[in-house]
Amino acid sequence: MKKILFCLISTLLLCGCATTQVKSIEPARVSDAKAVVFAENYGYYLFGFLPIICGDPEEMNDCSLTFFEDTVKIENNAKMIDREAEKIGAKEISDVKHRTNWTGSFSLWIIWKQVMSSNATLK
């Protein structure tokens, strides 16, 4: 029972997630931009290279997970931005920026967390 409880708590604490946010831009501030999209996906890796739990970019904003599959990639964040652009009817995506952040000191460098953040302007 203790092992099952430990595994359940560990999974909840180490879950990955893929999210997007859209912020509308006032027409007076920027003439041709509709919105700015922020996409983020993160996951946990054993020793920094074996994926354990990552966010599922196909089910963004749902806190769904993929196990033992590396989904924290620029291509997946670009797909999430594309889906949000289609939702609001944007014709052009510009000023795309990606950032990757790795942290592992919280677990003595055994479990590493990778965060892939992206943002883009939609026109």
Helix/strand/coil for 123 = coil
Contact 123, 94 (CB under 8 A): yes
In a domain, 5, yes or no: no
Domain range holding 102?
15-122
In a domain, 4, yes or no: no
In a domain, 6, yes or no: no
In a domain, 2, yes or no: no
Is 24's pLDDT higher than 60?
Answer: yes
In a domain, 44, yes or no: yes
pTM: 0.78
User: pLDDT tens across 80-118, in order?
Assistant: 999 989 988 888 898 999 999 998 877 788 889 999 999
Is 26's pLDDT higher than 80?
Answer: no
Please give the sequence-ordered ranges of beta strands (E in DSSP) within the chain, or none if there are none: 17-24, 35-46, 50-55, 65-67, 93-103, 111-122
Number of domains observed in the structure of the chain: 1
**The predicted structure's pLDDT at residue 28:** 45
Mean pLDDT of 51-80: 88
In a domain, 66, yes or no: yes
In a domain, 104, yes or no: yes
